[in-house]
Amino acid sequence: MRAEEQLTVNSGRDTTLKGAELEGNRVVVNTGRDLTISSVQDSAS
């Protein structure tokens, strides 16, 4: 996801960002419980 200024993600429960790309001058993630962030390996051969 991309925003010119502020990017806000709201979740009332657990939030998982797996391989997600968040871009903005300011990125805010509001989660009600656990926040899990993980990267994924490029699988191109």
- Which of 18, 20, 21, 23 has its CA nearest to residue 2? 23
Of residues 34, 39, 38, the one with CA closest to residue 12 = 34
pLDDT of residue 43: 77
So what's the pLDDT on residue 44? 74
Q: How far apart are CA 1 and CA 12, in angstroms?
A: 19
Query: Which residue, among 10, 38, 7, 45, has the nearest Cα to 23 in the 3D structure?
Result: 7
- Other Cβ atoms within 10 Å of 16 Cβ, number: 12
Q: What is the pLDDT of residue 45?
A: 64
pTM of the predicted structure, to 2 decimals: 0.71
CA 38 to chain centre: 9
Give the model confidence (pLDDT) of 6-45 as tens digits.
999 999 999 999 999 999 999 999 999 999 999 988 777 6
